[in-house]
Amino acid sequence: MPDYLDDLRLAHALADAADAATTARFQALDLKVETKPDMTPVSEADKAAEELIRARLQHARPEDAVLGEEYGVEGTGPRRWVVDPIDGTKNYVRGVPVWATLIALMEEGEDGFQPVVGVVSAPALGRRWWAAKGHGAFAGRDLASGLPIRVSRVGRLADASFAYSSLSGWEEQGRLDGFLDLGRQVWRTRAYGDFWPYMMVAEGSVDICAEPELSLWDMAANAIIVTEAGGTFTGLDGRPGPHSGNAAASNGLLHEELLGHLGPRR
């Protein structure tokens, strides 16, 4: 089995470059922000970071395909880099430090494309998380200083911390009743939002999290980090991996109960 460590080192270098670009424009008074057709914001920093990552991948891995939030897919083949230049753009443009660059490498196999490398870098928080298939998950400021991370061992919903992004999406999909019922049964709920709940699941500080509507670039890096930390990452339909258009992540022990509340539409 490939060890993917060269790809992981490259992903860190890409994250370093993106961090420099995004932090340079964070809280800039002249930051340019546009509204995309789906009514979500995109800043000049989103575009610049993705352009930078694409250029470096073209030099370092010219045979690999790239899929990014801002510029779509380029190239074909059994390996595909998936990039969200700024996950949490709404936070970024308002000066909230909860945002990150998400970089994943996906490789084609018997079950289609699955993530084998993931880096989530949140420079405004001073944190970074990463994983490579078969090598575990880590957190720290950089590759040299990383420490292993592991999901929690909480086995009862009554003791669990549940993280999410917002209520509106659950309501729009007819899943709000299940969401609220789950919230009543757990020990604690918090709306941290975006990438952070998944990283907290991987670290063991949160036990379950879910979102009702996502794109592949929102999930690919998170999925490999959660699973390499010993957790479970599926869609709300229970399908393993980041392909369902939504996500449920847990320490594994609570996953069936999580899906039992949020999987079926109510």
Whether the pLDDT of residue 32 is over 90: the answer is: no
Specify whether the backbone of 4 is left (phi greater than 0), alpha (psi in -120 to 50) or beta.
Answer: left
State the Cα–Cα distance between residues 122 and 119, nearest whole angstrom.
Answer: 10
Residue 266 confidence class, pLDDT cut points 50, 70, 90? very low
State the Cα–Cα distance between residues 98 and 139, nearest whole angstrom.
Answer: 16
- Count of Cβ atoms closer than 10 Å to residue 135 Cβ: 16
Q: Which neighbouring-strand residues pair with 190? A: 163
State the Cα–Cα distance between residues 244 and 224, nearest whole angstrom.
Answer: 15
What percent of the residues of the chain are helix, what percent strand, and what percent coil, each to the nearest 5? 35, 25, 35
State the Cα–Cα distance between residues 227 and 225, nearest whole angstrom.
Answer: 6
Q: 244, 249, 250: which is closest to 216 by C-alpha?
A: 244
Q: 207, 197, 189, 60: which is closest to 129 by C-alpha?
A: 197
Whether the pLDDT of residue 38 is over 80: the answer is: no
State the Cα–Cα distance between residues 224 and 113, nearest whole angstrom.
Answer: 12
Whether the pLDDT of residue 264 is over 70: the answer is: no
**Token pair belonging to 173:** 């999909």
pTM above 0.85, yes or no: yes
> Could you tell me if 34 and 42 are in contact, meaning their C-beta atoms sit under 8 angstroms apart?
yes
Give me the pLDDT at residue 40, please.
77
State the Cα–Cα distance between residues 246 and 164, nearest whole angstrom.
Answer: 12
Residue 31 confidence class, pLDDT cut points 50, 70, 90? confident
Give me the pLDDT at residue 39, please.
63
